[in-house]
Amino acid sequence: MKKQWWHGKCAYQIYPKSFCDSNGDGIGDLQGIISKLDYLKDLGADILWLSPIYVSPLADQGYDIADYYNIDPRFGTLADMDELIAEAKKRDMDIVMDLVVNHCSDEHEWFRKACEDPDGQYGKYFYIEDMKDGKGPCNWRSYFGGPVWEPLPGHPDKCYLHVFHKKQPDLNWENPKLREEIYTMIRWWLDRGLAGFRIDAILNIKKVLPFKDYPVDREDGLSSVHNMLHEAKGVGDFLGEMRDRAFAPYDAFTVGEVFDEKEEDLPAFIGDGGYFSSMFDFAETVFGSSENGWQDAGGITPDQYRDCVFATQKKVDQIGFISNIIENHDEPRGVSRYIPEGDACPASKKMLATVYFLVKGLPWIYQGQELGMENVHFSSIEEVDDISSIDNYRVAIEAGATPEEALDAVRRFSRDNARTPFQWTAGENAGFTTGTPWLRVNPNYTEINQADEAKDPDSVLHYYRRLTRLRKDPAYAETLVWGGFTPWLQDRPGVMAYLRTSEKQTILVMANYQREPQVLPLPENSGYKVLLNNYSSVKETPEGLALEGYQAVVLELEK
Ligand code: GLC
Ligand code: CA
């Protein structure tokens, strides 16, 4: 694996709508982000990914783009964006935007023109088909519920494809003209000084054609779009072309949102010269998920979590650099999902931070994670904004769940858990806005907020600062960034431990992933130096280290 400029960095995801509101309209914005750059720099964030801020009706919170060449006025202006890129550069930080090109918005000019003239140039930018008996040409179910076909406005005999929401018509990647438009747009942004992109839902760009039905898998008579995706071949041709035409000339950093990749495809995706620089590890994210919906999805135990992470480490090994997360804007908060119920506390949050951050790959922090922000306890479905949560609620009810059970599933999995405003202070609206926040602030902001944690040297926030500093410390970076990965005590329940090794040194990351204390052995004859500890000390016994509940230590082993 060739070393890359970004390997030793730390990445951070901003969900702009919920990060910081500079003008009191209740919506976070670019000037808000600029005002917090020093905070992010101090945390140790180097690469900042912004969820979409392009012009959009925000039907799916900006993942429905109406103009790829401009900023939505709610977030700011192009001048603000240029300022953000420049201010970031001054601090040696890089800005990465979201690239949403499986679909655009139904309010995009291309789609409006396609509706005016479905047989014209822009009609070919989409998948537009004739309806038969009031139905589209196949039975796929969209990710957000209902059929993927919707009548084309103004043409009741025709319909268009949308694998996500009906306000997100799919772009036709088979059309070389469309692909050319996309590459031109990507280069336009890179010319503005952007470092690269996070690439949204990208495997969906390849469809199995001609359209056909797949086995019905729910009572709605439809079939999950996953069934089609499993069969689709040839996405690599598009991805390789996009890399060559748009990313490679700029040495852009790209991270793919890739689910369900086949193991043999890994080298093509993230090996040297692969389609992307990196892609996210979703092994633990999707663990326990069910095709039936959230009401049937299970939790994940500490041992299962460890096994998912280790399986990815083994699979990726020397091939490339995976991107490690515990949450993002589509998932519940990591501390609410990966820490057993009732046990989320500063110690366990720091432990989780330690174990996911120091495995091999690029560590990502999602906004608020560094404070230990938690899921919200919604008291009714009316408090939920997210379209996918509302759909999953309906699916649960239709599958026979009671309203309380359906709400419970939403509490566990809702994307709004991660989308509540960033908790800056213990003051009104958590200091996020002087107006009315677009989404209710998590009521726990009086205990969990940035201002208080900044003052407390033992806070989760300060612990994250120590983690980023440790990974970047020239004395350890060779090992923690590029070194090998070997599981330690892998078969012991309630433990997550591993060795990172280079010619220079061996570092042991060892966590007691349970409430009860336990004694864990060190590799034979090892003296050690403590590099990081989420408790103030560590007890030694002849059998090994006696770790407190959720204690995690990072040790440099003496040879
Ligand atoms: C990705 C995004 C998600 C969005 C979807 C459709 O999964 O992360 O937020 O709803 O794509 O663009
Ligand atoms: Ca605002």
Query: If DSSP states are collapsed to H, E and C, what string results for 450-485?
Result: HHHHHHCCCCHHHHHHHHHHHHHCCCCHHHHHHCEE
- In the chain, CATH 3.90.400.10 sits at 101-170+207-228
pLDDT at 524: 85
Using DSSP bridges, classify how beta strands 47-50 and 11-14 pair: parallel, antiparallel or unpaired: parallel
Residue 525 has pLDDT above 80, yes or no: no
**109-151 confidence digits (pLDDT tens):** 999 999 999 999 999 999 999 999 999 999 999 999 999 999 9
Query: How much of the chain, in percent, has pLDDT values that exceed 90?
Result: 97
- Nearest Cα residue to 336 out of 380, 305, 363: 305
Alpha helix (H) ranges present in 64-162? 78-90, 109-116
DSSP string, 239-297: HHHHIIIIIGGGT-EEEE---S--GGGHHHHHSTT-SSSEEB--HHHHTT--TT-GGG-
Q: Which residues are catalytic?
A: 200, 257
| Band of pLDDT at residue 199, cut at 50, 70 and 90 | very high
For residue 130 the two structure tokens come to 């004739």
- Mean local confidence (pLDDT), 408-424: 98
Using DSSP bridges, classify how beta strands 544-547 and 518-520 pair: parallel, antiparallel or unpaired: antiparallel
pLDDT at 51: 98
pLDDT at 389: 96
Fold classified for 11-100+176-204+229-378+415-462: TIM Barrel (3.20.20)
Q: Are 57 and 111 in contact (CB under 8 A)?
A: no
Fold classified for 101-170+207-228: Oligo-1,6-glucosidase; domain 2 (3.90.400)
Q: Which residues line ligand 1 (CB under 6 A)?
A: 60, 63, 100, 164, 200-201, 257, 329-330
Q: How far is CA 358 from the centre of its chain?
A: 18
C-alpha to C-alpha distance for 406 and 304, rounded to whole angstroms: 25
The three-state secondary structure class of 419 is coil
Q: Using CA positions, which residue lies closest to atom 2 of ligand 1?
A: 200
Phi, psi torsion values for 38, nearest 5 degrees: -65, -35
For residue 45 the two structure tokens come to 């964030």
C-alpha to C-alpha distance for 75 and 17, rounded to whole angstroms: 8
**349-404 confidence digits (pLDDT tens):** 999 999 999 999 999 999 999 999 999 999 999 999 999 999 999 999 999 999 99
Residue 410 has pLDDT above 90, yes or no: yes
Task: Write down the CATH number for the domain with range 483-557.
Answer: 2.60.40.1180
**Would the pTM count as exceeding 0.85?**
yes
pLDDT at 260: 84
Separation of CA 31 and ligand 2 centre (Å):
8
Residue 320 has pLDDT above 90, yes or no: yes
- Nearest Cα residue to 336 out of 297, 369, 382: 369
| Band of pLDDT at residue 262, cut at 50, 70 and 90 | confident
pLDDT at 526: 77
**439-458 confidence digits (pLDDT tens):** 999 999 999 999 999 999 99
Query: Which one of the ligands is nearest to 436 CA?
Result: 2
Q: Which residues surround ligand 2, an ion (CB under 5 A)?
A: 21, 23, 25, 27, 29
- Nearest Cα residue to 235 out of 207, 267, 270, 266: 207
- In the chain, CATH 2.60.40.1180 sits at 483-557
Q: Which of 17, 144, 200 is the best mutation target for the ligand 1 pocket, counting ligand atoms within 8 Å of the beta carbon and taking the most?
A: 200
For residue 51 the two structure tokens come to 């969820």
- Mean local confidence (pLDDT), 18-36: 99
Separation of CA 63 and ligand 1 centre (Å):
6
Query: Which one of the ligands is nearest to 76 CA?
Result: 2
Residue 57 has pLDDT above 80, yes or no: yes
For residue 356 the two structure tokens come to 């996911």
- Nearest Cα residue to 170 out of 179, 158, 178, 160: 160
DSSP string, 172-216: -TT-HHHHHHHHHHHHHHHHTT--EEEETTGGGG---SS------
C-alpha to C-alpha distance for 337 and 344, rounded to whole angstroms: 10
pLDDT at 557: 96
Residue 412 has pLDDT above 80, yes or no: yes
The three-state secondary structure class of 362 is strand
| Band of pLDDT at residue 418, cut at 50, 70 and 90 | very high
Residue 245 has pLDDT above 90, yes or no: yes
Q: Are 52 and 15 in contact (CB under 8 A)?
A: no
Separation of CA 546 and ligand 1 centre (Å):
44
Residue 536: partners with Cβ closer than 8 Å, 6 or more residues away? none
C-alpha to C-alpha distance for 148 and 16, rounded to whole angstroms: 29
Beta bridge partners of 278: 255
Residue 30 has pLDDT above 90, yes or no: yes
Q: Which of 60, 97, 331, 416 is the best mutation target for the ligand 1 pocket, counting ligand atoms within 8 Å of the beta carbon and taking the most?
A: 60
Q: Are 178 and 172 in contact (CB under 8 A)?
A: yes
**202-217 confidence digits (pLDDT tens):** 999 999 999 999 999 9
- In the chain, CATH 3.20.20.80 sits at 11-100+176-204+229-378+415-462
**What's the mean per-residue pLDDT of the chain?**
97
Amino acid at 257: E
- Mean local confidence (pLDDT), 336-356: 98
pLDDT at 291: 87
Query: Which one of the ligands is nearest to 26 CA?
Result: 2
Q: Are 504 and 479 in contact (CB under 8 A)?
A: yes
